[in-house]
Amino acid sequence: MKLAYWMYAGPAHIGTLRVASSFKNVHAIMHAPLGDDYFNVMRSMLERERNYTPVTTSIVDRNVLARGSQEKVIDNIVRKDQEETPDLIVLTPTCTSSILQEDLQNFVDRAQMESKGDVMLADVNHYRVNELQAADKTLLQILQFYIAKGRKKGEIAEGKTEKPSVNIIGMTTLGFHNQHDCIELKKLMADLGIEINAIIPEGASVNDLKNLPRAWFNLVPYREIGLMSAHYLAEEFGMPYVDITPMGVVETARCIRKIQQVINEQGANVDYEEFINHQTMFVSQAAWFSRSIDCQNLTGKKAVVFGDNTHAAAMTKVLAREMGIHVVLAGTYCKYDADWFREQVSEYCDEVLISEDNGEIGDAIARIEPSAIFGTQMERHVGKRLNIPCGVIAAPIHIQNFPIGYKPFLGYEGTNQVTDLVYNSFTLGMEDHLLEIFGGHDTKEVIQKTISADSDLNWTKEAQGELNKVPGFVRGKVKRNTEKFARERGFSQISLEVMYAAKESVGA
Amino acid sequence: MTVAPSESLTFECETGNYHTFCPISCVAWLYQKIEDSFFLVIGTKTCGYFLQNAMGVMIFAEPRYAMAELEEADISAQLNDYEELKRLCLQIKRDRNPSVIVWIGTCTTEIIKTDLEGLAPKLEADLGVPIVVARANGLDYAFTQGEDTVLAAMVQRCPNKVEQEEEKQERNAIQKLLNFGKQKEEVVAEEAEYANHPPLVLFGSLPDPVVTQLTLELKKQGVKVSGWLPSKRYTELPTVAEGDYACGVNPFLSRTATAFMRRRKAKLIGAPFPIGPDGTRAWIEKICSVFGIEPVGLEEREAQIWASLEDYVQLIRGKSVFFMGDNLLEISLARFLIRCGMTCAEIGIPYLDKRYQGPELALLEKTCHEMGVPLPKIIEKPDNYNQLQRIHEVRPDLVITGMAHANPLEARGISTKWSVEFTFAQIHGFTNARDILELVTRPMRRNNSMKDLGWDRLVKEEAQV
């Protein structure tokens, strides 16, 4: 047992559901107790999704404990198949159902016989993998399923597209700024003259998976989700892949050069140097920013970076290499992939921290006292307590990290967004610091004119106590309304009863 | 779908495929209510993830709750659960020094059959801190029923009678609060204001201001509340002796009610719940009638509250409401809204205890007859998919539902109110009736301010579920 107050990565089934519900017309059925369908709430709230989340639950209750699920799971699958005619139904076990050790594969096989759509079982171990690993695994599983099916029917696409083309792998629902990143990558590919063959899983149809081999190469922008699928496609079809995250000016250039090499090997004969040069110098403002006086003032300032592998590693490199900021500590919660992280950031920071314990990171931040933090919502909170500004660069995230405006982290527009994020965090910190030194904007004592300043009314102790429980920002209003009420009715003393009567009369 | 007018309420039961919060969510409000407690949820990452996301910002306030996260070795019993729990509870005792540790059993502890009730007394003796066990799991319960399991376990811990006069003072927190700053003679004089009746304990966790309001409301009728379960502190649990009276303030507390009756031999006052001015009046009247007190001024008080609500009532009069069902407050809220002039075709509810909710159901029926509206269909264990079909068919003016369906329904031009807000807002007593309507009318007021924009339906294909 482990005492835990907070976790960075969610449980495995969340990863499976993120992948399944990213596809078009794929339905997930969770084998779970009542209340485990919290995923629907997150998707509906965080992504402000207009459509019903295609996830339902085959509920595990006392009866299931006593007698097993029996026909229940099969009935639910067949019912969903008829109601919504999905292309695929993914039966998703949860940590609860996995200890029941029911033969879910058997249910799937039997349900398949009665269903028009395909049915498969998500195969992840809930006690060994987290959300991110499970998402990676599930994407691979769905891919394998449809490649195998395509082969059986002889439908796997032969040959390559005429022009160079790419599959972008790993865009998912509830991913950090994934929708914006996706638009930016599409734009980047268009600028490079590369056709998009497919984007998976977000918005893709499972029926298109058999066309994946037509692309010249695969691009995996995020370290956490999609690599397993890229490996698989490389082995099966000899498709090369590019796994350099195009985040920051230098890494974006490196990614584009790798793409150039990969497609030239297949006879494309392109030269992107001119493009990279033009974008770097004149489209992205990031290179010019690092040269400007603003950025000079950031030189040597201390920062701490923490997040998932992709974003924490990229951010560390941007801060250290492109802005001259002193990254004292870079860390990740992707413990299972720690070696990669170490290798990526070691030369750009003093310390590396691999941990899933938010207390440990909080302590490290308190010890280091950086000028700014770049982390998850948890680090933002640590920053608030320690009065250190924080830019959020990775999940776990809140609704405010699903902005409506266009805010990619990848590609050339991404470099602009990251620059703003970094600069705003540091200047805010600086402004605060100056205000403290000079004692605030306006050092004259503020004289407030309120009715209660010359109150002729007596508040009883308990009423005063009750008033103090009212949140600060409305307390003044409640006090004024209550006193107005008391005056109008000629009360000289304000007791609890008067207070509540006042509340009823004004509805405040 | 039209509802044929019928003479009495109809009850149906569907598949139970509906969305609700896991009952472990009760720790979020109970740890705030019971200030010296620590809640330890013994479960998996799934439980932790739910709490972390459902409680949103609160998680950052260093709450007095934590997960005892089970690992593979716990599941396969390679680790000794007693030793593991002891280690964690020692750490909690060291870091937080709580007066009680509440263990929340989950689905996983049920399935692997961890004997929490057996382990607790042993560990309690070793540790010197009371350990209360509540099995608030998703296999058996929905959302607010979590509080029911915790309170039912706490009924056992209420002292029988208090020997020391000093400790009695200590325990009588509500009276102390009300008498705060008064001279002893004044207090004695005030005691005389109460009618002579057997001790009354109220149960149900409410925010402190609401506790004070309801207590004062009864005080006006000469009814003395001698204790409240839960109190602000675990060390202030009310005394319960055989023959004392107990009355619930929330509709989801049927296990707690049973525990009072069967385990403590208390007498239960079955009443409608003090939600809405009609419910509050009925609740007070019932308590008074049990103690043989003639209530004074209640009718005027109710009328006066209704008058102050008129501007909000106008917005919903004649409109229809549909409860998808997820928190067990549905019957009481529907009864209040029907009294406001709404019609209600369907009340979904996770679980209905017809005995405990009996007086509330009777009031609902009476309200429908008096308002001349058809009686709603009550659907226990609803099926959300079927409900959505019915909603799209009848297109009610307001759907009270969980967050999973709220945005998709709004995108299809159907106004919604998020049901969970009713559990966290102050909705009890005369004073807070306006707060309920503030919530209920919010989508109407939003609609009024945006009515000419033509942005009702924001999905391309015709409503497909």
Contact B84/A500, CB-based, under 8 Å? Answer: no
* Residues in chain A within 8 Å Cβ distance of B407: 44-45, 48-50
Q: What are phi and psi of A23, to 5 degrees?
A: -65, 155
Residues of chain B falling short of pLDDT 50:
1-4, 463-465
pLDDT at residue A316 is higher than 70 = yes
- Report yes or no: A318 and A183 within 8 Å, Cβ to Cβ: no
Query: pLDDT by residue (tens digit) across A55-73?
Result: 999 999 888 888 888 789 9
Strands B225-229 and B131-134: unpaired
Query: pLDDT by residue (tens digit) across A99-147?
Result: 888 899 999 999 999 999 999 999 998 889 999 999 999 999 999 999 9
- Report yes or no: A52 and A406 within 8 Å, Cβ to Cβ: no
CA distance B215 to A318: 61
Contact B403/A45, CB-based, under 8 Å? Answer: yes
Q: Which tokens go with A215?
A: 């692309």
Contact A11/B402, CB-based, under 8 Å? Answer: no
- Look at A299 and A409; give whichever has higher pLDDT: A409
CA distance A104 to A85: 21
- Residue A507: pLDDT band with limits 50, 70, 90: low
Q: ω before B396 within 30° of 0 (cis)?
A: no
Strands of B416-418's sheet in order across: B10-13, B377-380, B343-349, B320-323, B398-401, B416-418
Which residues in chain B (321-350) have CB-CB distances under 8 A to chain A?
A: none
Helix or strand holding residue B261 (H, E):
helix B254-262
Q: Which tokens go with B178?
A: 């009300």
Span A210-229, average pLDDT: 97
- Å between B403 CA and nearest CA of chain A: 5
Check CB contact of B110 with chain A, cutoff 8 Å: yes
C-alpha pair distances (Å), B84 with each of B22, B79, B81, B133, B364: 25, 7, 5, 16, 49
Structure ipTM: 0.89
What is the per-residue pLDDT for B463? 45
pLDDT at residue A452 is higher than 80 = no
- Report yes or no: B63 and B34 within 8 Å, Cβ to Cβ: no
Contact B45/A11, CB-based, under 8 Å? Answer: yes
Catalytic annotation present for A350: no
- Report yes or no: A33 and A60 within 8 Å, Cβ to Cβ: yes
Q: Which of A304, A301, A129, A319 is nearest to A224 (CA)?
A: A129
* Residues in chain A within 8 Å Cβ distance of B403: 41, 44-45
CA distance A57 to B342: 33
Contact B434/A99, CB-based, under 8 Å? Answer: no
CA distance B228 to B205: 9
- Å between A236 CA and nearest CA of chain B: 34
- Å between B6 CA and nearest CA of chain A: 32
Check CB contact of A62 with chain B, cutoff 8 Å: yes
Whose tokens are 């009702």? That residue is B456
Rg (CA), chain A: 28
Contact A65/B142, CB-based, under 8 Å? Answer: no
In this structure, how many other beta carbons lie within 10 angstroms of the beta carbon of residue A223? 25
Check CB contact of A288 with chain B, cutoff 8 Å: no
Q: Which tokens go with A472?
A: 């600060």
Check CB contact of A466 with chain B, cutoff 8 Å: yes
CA distance A220 to A320: 24
- Determine the residue of chain B that is closest to A85 in CA distance: B465
What is the per-residue pLDDT for A362? 92
| CB-closest option in A41, A50, A83 to B385 | A83
Q: Which tokens go with B382?
A: 């609803």
- Report yes or no: A20 and A26 within 8 Å, Cβ to Cβ: yes
Interface test mutation site (partner A, options B14, B19, B308, max chain A beta carbons within 10 A): B19
Span A258-287, average pLDDT: 94
What proportion of chain A, given as a percentage, has pLDDT over 90?
A: 69
The pTM assigned to this predicted structure is 0.88
pLDDT at residue A508 is higher than 50 = no
Q: Which tokens go with B297?
A: 């001024």
Check CB contact of A96 with chain B, cutoff 8 Å: yes
Rg (CA), chain B: 23
Q: If you write DSSP's letter for every residue of A105-137 in order, what string do you get?
A: HHHHHHHHHH-SSEEEE----TTT--HHHHHHH
Mean pLDDT of chain A, nearest integer: 90
Contact A95/B20, CB-based, under 8 Å? Answer: no
- The one catalytic residue in A109, A294, A350, A363 is A294
Contact B137/A505, CB-based, under 8 Å? Answer: no
Give B127's contacts (C-beta < 8 A, 6+ positions apart). Answer: B86, B89, B90, B93
Query: pLDDT by residue (tens digit) across A349-394?
Result: 999 999 999 889 999 999 999 999 999 999 999 998 888 999 999 9
pLDDT at residue A348 is higher than 70 = yes
What is the per-residue pLDDT for A6? 86
